[in-house]
Amino acid sequence: MNIQAEKLELVRMILDTNNPNILSSIRRLFSKSKTTDFWDVLSQEQKSDIQKGIDEVERGETVDYKYFVKEYR
């Protein structure tokens, strides 16, 4: 089942129910799913280090994994 069909099926099930417990459970699920993006809890130093790594990859400054492992075993 594709995502749109799944959403439509869930909407149908919600509209068909009169059970307040089910509706409360669904509301809690949605409330819990509104978590903070991990990026927002990183320090500025961590964000800077990640951006530095991204920049290095974009410039082609990478090391082959097999070479890296071989060198440091």
* pLDDT 10s digits, 9-58: 999 999 999 999 999 999 988 887 666 778 888 999 999 999 999 999 99
Residue 1 confidence class, pLDDT cut points 50, 70, 90: low
According to the model, what pLDDT value does residue 15 have? 95
**Per-residue tokens: 47:** 């964000």
Query: Side chain identity at 66, as an amino acid letter?
Result: K
* Cα separation, 28 vs 63, whole angstroms: 45
